């Protein structure tokens, strides 16, 4: 199935890359391009994470063309219908860069772990990379997700330190300083989780967070560790207060509903039922420059592979 999809991706890419006769004589641009690829979000407040990452990339790569693509067709359609804004998917994003003459491109994954979404993106890059001749790329390299090496985990833990002493309030999620006493207030990060083997990354990240910070725990919505493991750790810690935060690049649907929503099955509601006092920091990790810098390093590693 994957081989068939990969072959289809090449065919579709070719169809997009040859939109006009004039494009066949396009001059190649030596200026590099970076295509930032995310799942996407339709929440305007959550867009701050992507805007911050783009800002950091423009500062770090002033001579590169920076663009963004969403992998979620549902979110792309929703934004188009609601806001009349068209956002490309990774395949059409690559096709348009090629059509404009960009032949040196890094496709930078902004995913947290190398799970299914990342591997689907890698298949697209590998398929398009196989196109030879005048419509091919000179260099097309994929940049890896947030958590790949041990150093990435350690840097992510360090980058998140400042968020532990903040809470957000209001519809615009304004951050306020709120220093915590680790003996009284625990921090619980919620990750997405997946059935993909890469879910093991969350267990490793949870271990590093626990080592670096007192009473800081990580669970996932759809994987292990989950809510039950987090609850057990909280009860063992003896704390009475819990600060909830998303371990996600953007604070979108999961953060607003599964984490801090008022529904009975949200982590907020279930923890309140257990007797904990709750506050939260609804700040996507992409809003943190330290997290963005980890992606930047992965992009630099990708550029180093150019021939």
Please tell me the distance from the alpha carbon of residue 145 to that of residue 139, in angstroms, as a whole number.
Answer: 19
Neighbours of 96 (CB within 10 A): 17
Q: Dump pLDDT digits (tens) for 51-74.
A: 999 999 999 999 999 999 999 999
Pick from 177, 145, 174, 159: nearest CA to 285? 159
Same domain assignment for residues 207 and 185:
yes
Q: Which of 66, 62, 52, 49 is nearest to 247 (CA)?
A: 49
At 209-258, the pLDDT tens digits run 999 999 999 999 999 999 999 999 999 999 999 999 999 999 988 888 99
Whether residue 144 sits in one domain with residue 200: no
- Point out the residues that are catalytic: 192
User: Per-residue pLDDT for 31 more than 80?
Assistant: yes
DSSP 154-191: HHHHHHGGGGGGEEEETTTTEEEE----TTTEEEEEEE
Q: What's the token pair of residue 12?
A: 């579709």
Beta carbons within 8 Å of 136's beta carbon, 6+ residues apart: 103, 129
3-state secondary structure of 30: coil
Whether residues 272 and 256 share a domain: the answer is yes
Q: What is the pLDDT of residue 26?
A: 65
Residues 172 and 227 in one domain: yes
pLDDT level of residue 25 (50, 70, 90 thresholds)? low
Query: Domain check: are 122 and 186 in the same one?
Result: no
* Strand 241-246 versus strand 277-280 pairing type: parallel
Predicted TM-score of the model (pTM): 0.90
48 and 83 belong to one structural domain? yes
Query: Phi/psi of residue 35, each to 5°?
Result: -105, 110
Task: Give yes or no for residue 8 having a pLDDT over 80.
Answer: no
Confidence band (pLDDT; 50, 70, 90) for 45? confident
Residue 2 has pLDDT above 70, yes or no: no
Give the strands of the sheet with 216-220, arranged side by side.
216-220, 185-191, 241-246, 277-280
Note down the domain range covering 203. 150-284
Higher pLDDT: 11 or 116? It is 116
Q: Which two tokens stand for residue 243?
A: 């600060």
Instruction: For residues 265 and 161, state if they share a domain.
Output: yes
The beta-carbon contacts of 157-161 under 8 Å, at least 24 apart in sequence, are 157/205, 157/208, 157/209, 157/212, 157/213, 158/212, 158/290, 159/285, 159/288, 159/289, 159/290, 159/291, 159/293, 159/294, 160/189, 160/209, 160/285, 160/288, 160/290, 160/291, 161/212, 161/213
Cis status of the peptide bond prior to 78, with omega within 30 of 0: no
More confident residue, 26 or 131: 131
The answer to whether residues 6 and 138 belong to one domain is yes
Average pLDDT in the 16-35 region? 68
For 83-112, write each residue's pLDDT tens digit: 999 999 999 999 999 999 999 999 999 999
User: Are 126 and 191 within one domain?
Assistant: no
Residue 174, classified by CB atoms within 10 Å of its CB into exposed (0-12), middle (13-18) or buried (19+), is exposed
Q: Are residue 15 and residue 110 in the same domain, yes or no?
A: yes
Instruction: Examine the domain organization and report whether 128 and 195 are in the same domain.
Output: no
Of 95-99, 119-123, 175-179, least confident by mean pLDDT is 175-179
Give the confidence band of 274 by pLDDT, cuts at 50, 70, 90. Answer: very high
| 120 and 168 together in one domain | no
| CATH of residue 73 | 3.40.50.1400
Tally of structural domains, the chain: 2
SS3 assignment, position 238: coil
Mean pLDDT of all residues belonging to the chain: 91
CA dihedral of 150, 154, 159, 163, whole degrees rounded to 10 = 120
């Amino acid at each position: 199935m994957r081989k068939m999809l990969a072959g289809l991706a090449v065919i579709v890419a070719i169809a997009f890359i040859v939109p006009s006769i004039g494009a066949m004589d396009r001059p190649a641009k030596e200026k590099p391009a970076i295509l930032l690829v995310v799942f996407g979000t339709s929440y305007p407040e959550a867009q701050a994470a992507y805007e911050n990452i783009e800002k950091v990339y423009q500062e770090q790569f002033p001579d590169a063309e920076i663009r963004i693509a969403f992998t979620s067709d549902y979110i792309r359609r929703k934004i188009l219908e609601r806001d009349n804004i068209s956002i490309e998917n990774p395949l059409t994003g690559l096709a348009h860069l090629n059509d404009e003459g960009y032949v040196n491109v890094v496709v930078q994954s902004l995913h947290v772990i190398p799970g299914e979404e990342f591997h689907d993106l890698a298949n697209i890059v590998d398929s398009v990379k196989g196109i030879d001749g005048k419509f091919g790329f000179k260099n097309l390299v994929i940049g890896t997700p947030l958590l790949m090496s041990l150093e990435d985990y350690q840097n992510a833990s360090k980058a998140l330190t400042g968020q532990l002493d903040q809470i957000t309030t209001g519809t615009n999620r304004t951050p306020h300083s709120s220093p915590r006493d680790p003996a009284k207030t625990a921090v619980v990060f919620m990750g997405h989780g997946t059935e993909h083997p890469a879910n093991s990354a969350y267990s490793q990240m949870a271990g590093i967070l626990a080592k670096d910070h007192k009473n800081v725990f990580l669970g996932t919505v759809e994987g292990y560790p989950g809510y039950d493991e987090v609850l057990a750790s909280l009860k063992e810690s003896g704390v009475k207060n819990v600060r909830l935060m998303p371990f996600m690049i953007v604070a979108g649907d999961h953060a607003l509903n599964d984490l801090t929503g008022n529904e009975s099955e949200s982590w907020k509601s279930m923890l309140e039922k257990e007797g904990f006092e709750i506050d939260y920091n609804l700040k996507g990790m992409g809003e943190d420059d330290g997290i963005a810098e980890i992606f930047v390093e992965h992009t630099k590693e990708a550029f180093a592979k150019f021939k």
